[in-house]
Amino acid sequence: MMTVTANSVFIDNQPVELNGEVNLLTLVRKVGVELPTFCYHSELSIYGACRMCVVEIEGRGIVAACSTPPTPGMRILTNSPRVQRVRRTVLELLLANHERECTTCEKNGNCKLQDLANRFGVRKIRFGERDMKLPIDDSSASIVRDPNKCILCGDCVRMCSEVQGIGILNFANRGSKVQVTPAFNKKMAEVECVNCGQCSAVCPTGALVVKSQVNQAWKALADPSKVVVAQVAPAVRVALGEEFGMEAGQIVTGKVVGALKRLGFDKVFDTCIAADLTIMEETTELIERLEKGIEGPLFTSCCPAWVKYAEHNGSNLLKNLSTCRSPQQMFGSLVKRYWAKELGKEPKDIYVISIMPCTAKKFEAARPEFTVDGVPDVDLVLTTQELSQMIRESGLDFAAVDPDSFDMPFGFTTGAGVIFGASGGVAEAALRAAYEMVTGEVLEQVNFESIRGFAGLKEATVNLNGKEVKVAVVHGLGNAKELLNKLNSGEAKYDFVEVMACPGGCISGAGQPQAVDMNTKKARARGIYHADKLSQLRKSQDNPVVAKFYEKWLQRPNSHEAHETLHTSYSTRARITGEDIELLNSDREHKVDLAVCLGTCCYTKGSYDTLQEFIRQAERNGIKEQLNLHATFCLEGCENSPSVRVNDQIYGGITAERVGTFIQEKVLPELERNKE
C-alpha cells in the first residue's frame, strides 16, 4: 500500500504521490484509469471544451480533469454516479448535434464518439436531431470536411494554428449556429490550406477525413488495358502493420509488397530509389550554390505541403526552394518517360499508384506541372489508411501474407532513401552524399545523430574541404515559420534547410494510422533508422541502379536531361480565391475603385491596419460615397507589400502611416478626373 504523505492526493480513495503532473488528467491516467477525452492532445494547448474528462472533487464538485491542476490533499472520484450522469448527458448532447449515419461514415469503427457512446452505454438520446444539414466540402484534393459531424472540440483549429502556424480553420457564428469553418465561409480549396491533413489526423469524428480514392484504384486494377504499378513510400513500411494489430515501428516491407501483388498490381516498386535520385540531384544543386556563393539557404522540396506553404508565403522563399521534384514525382516521370518505352508502351498505358503516408501527395499528383500531354506522371495516390482498407476489403489476412520483394529496376534502394520517412532523413542523406562528392573521401561514419529526433529545430555543421556548411531541420510548419522569421531578421543563417510539414516527418503523415501518442511516432522513427542500419548500402551515390539510370537516361546529376525529367518550378499563390469583400459601397458606377490586398504577404506586413485607416480617412475627407473601397486577396505585389490598387494602377508599400499622404497624392486626383 502506498504511504500517505503531505504531497499525496486520493484518487478513488487510493493515495497517489504527486510528481510534477500539470493536470488531473495526466495524474489519473498514470494510475491506470483511462479518462475519456475529445479535445485533449498532449501536443496542443489545453482547451477544456468537451467536458468528457470530468471528475468529482470533494468540496468542489464536477471539474474538467484536463484543465485542473492537482493540489495535495485532493480527494478525486473518477466514476461517481454524478460523474457518470454528466458524461452520459454530454455524449447525448454531442450525438444530438451530430449526424448519425455511422454505417456509411469514413470513420466507422475508428470513431472516438462512436467508441465512447458504446463504452458508456448510451442507447437512447433524449434530445432532438440536427434540424438543418450543412453542405459537405469536398473541394480539396486531400480532405473532405463534413460540418454535420463536427462536435466543436476545436482539435483541428488548434492543430492548424498552434502546430502548423496557418490557421485556416476557426470558429464562426454564435450560439447554436457555431461551426468550424475556413475564413469567410470559403471552401478548403479556396484558402491557403496546404493539404497536410493534420486537422483530419486529430479529428475524433468524421468531420474531417482523408479523401478516399479506393474506388478509382479498384477500377484501374480491373482494367486489362493498363499496366498498374505501385510505388511504396518509406514511412508506409513502419506503420501499415498497426492497422492489423502489429506493433508500431515493425518493418513489414515484404508483407506490403506481397499484399499489393495479391491485390492485382502488375509491378511493385520502392519510392526509395527516387529518394536516392533526389539526393543526387539536390546535393549537386547544393554544392553548386556553395561554389557560386549564392546567398540564402537551399530549402528541400520533397514535402508538397511545405512547397505549397512556400508558394503562399512569397517569392523570397521560392527562389531558395530546390527545383527538384519530390521522390513521388521523380518516380512517376521516370516510369512514364523512359520505362514505358522499354516495355513498348505509351505513357497513358502505365497507371502509377503511389502508396503514401501523406495526404498532400494527392494534391501534388494533380498539379498541372506534373502532367505531360494530358497524362499525369502519377495517376493516383492512396494513403496507408486506404491501402489497409483495400486489404480488408479483399479479405486478405495481412499477418498470413507471404513476404515478397520489390520488382526491378525500381526496387534496388539504399538506407539513405529509407530515412526520408523521418524528420532529418533528407538532410542526413544529403550530408552523406555531399561529404564524398566534395572531399573525394569515403565517409565511414554515416550517422548524423544531431539532426535526428523530435526537437522542433535540429542543427548540424559539417566541414566540407575547409568550408563550414550549416544545416537546419524543422518539422511542423509552425516551427518552419519561426525559422523563417529568424532567417529574415538575420538572427540565423544556414546553407541547407530541410522542412517537413508533419510533426516528426512522413512517419506522422495524416494518411498513416492515427498515432494516439508520441510513443507511436517514436517507434516508427526507430523502425525507419533500423531499416537503414540493416541496408547493405547506406549512401545514395552507392546505388548501382541509380548510376545505371544516369548512364542510360539522365547523363549526369543536374544535366539538361535530368532537369527536364526530375526538376520543376513553382510560382506564388499569395491569394485567397474568391470574390472581393465590399466594405463601403457596392454600387461601382462613377466611383473610384480602391482595393486593399489582404493576401498573406500584405496581411503580415500590416495591410489590415492600412484598410482600417482608409475607412477612417475616407470618412474624415468626406469621400466615402465616392469610393468603392473593398478588400481583395492578391494584387501580386508581394515584393513591396502592403499593396493597394486605385482603379487599374497598383501601388506598393502603403502602410497605415502612408494612407493620408496617399489619399492626397493619388486618390483625390483620381476623384477629380472622375468628375470630368
Q: What is the pLDDT of residues 614-638, one digit of tens each?
A: 998 988 888 888 888 888 877 766 7
Among 288, 369, 551, 625, the active-site one is 369
**What's the pLDDT score for residue 121?**
86
Among 285, 386, 428, 498, the active-site one is 285
361 as an active site residue: the answer is yes
282 as an active site residue: the answer is yes
Distance CA 664, CA 656 (A): 14
**What's the pLDDT score for residue 1?**
47
**What's the pLDDT score for residue 231?**
98
Among 50, 160, 302, 324, the active-site one is 302
Q: Is the pLDDT of residue 476 over 70?
A: yes
Among 160, 272, 506, 601, the active-site one is 506
Half-sphere exposure of 458 (CA within 13 A, CB side): 24
Question: What share of the chain in percent tops pLDDT 70?
Answer: 96
**What's the pLDDT score for residue 48?**
81
pLDDT in tens, 255-299: 999 999 999 999 999 999 999 999 999 999 999 999 999 988 999
Collect all residues with Cβ–Cβ distance below 8 Å to 507 and sequence separation of at least 6. Answer: 235, 238, 239, 357, 421, 422, 521, 524, 525, 528
CATH code that applies to domain 93-210: 3.30.70.20
459 as an active site residue: the answer is no
**What's the pLDDT score for residue 132?**
80
CATH code that applies to domain 214-566: 3.40.50.1780
Selection from 377, 420, 418, 403 nearest residue 531 by Cα = 418
More confident residue, 518 or 580: 518
Among 161, 301, 322, 326, the active-site one is 322
Instruction: Return phi, psi of residue 206, to 5°.
Output: -100, 25
129 as an active site residue: the answer is no
C-alpha cell at 562: 535530368
pLDDT in tens, 600-618: 778 778 888 899 899 989 8
Q: How far apart are the first and last CA of the chain?
A: 94
322 as an active site residue: the answer is yes
Enumerate long-range contacts of 552-561, CB under 8 Å, 24 or more apart. Answer: 552/338, 553/334, 553/337, 553/338, 557/280, 557/281, 557/283, 557/284, 558/281, 558/284, 558/285, 558/288
CATH code that applies to domain 581-675: 3.40.30.10
Q: Where are the domains of the chain?
A: 8-79, 93-210, 214-566, 581-675
Distance CA 464, CA 450 (A): 17
Partner residues linked to 209 by β-bridges: 144
506 as an active site residue: the answer is yes
Distance CA 636, CA 610 (A): 17
Among 282, 311, 386, 428, the active-site one is 282
Among 364, 386, 428, 613, the active-site one is 364
607 as an active site residue: the answer is no
Distance, C-alpha 380 to centroid of its chain: 18
pLDDT in tens, 4-44: 777 889 999 999 999 888 899 999 998 899 999 988 887 88
Query: Which residue do the cell numbers 523570397 mark?
Result: 316
Determine how β-strand 143-145 pairs with β-strand 169-172: unpaired
* Helix, strand, coil % over all residues of the chain, rounded to 5: 45, 15, 40
124 as an active site residue: the answer is no
Distance CA 588, CA 594 (A): 10
Whether 117 and 102 have beta carbons less than 8 Å apart is answered as no
Among 112, 336, 361, 362, the active-site one is 361
**What's the pLDDT score for residue 587?**
52
CATH topology of domain 8-79: Ubiquitin-like (UB roll) (3.10.20)
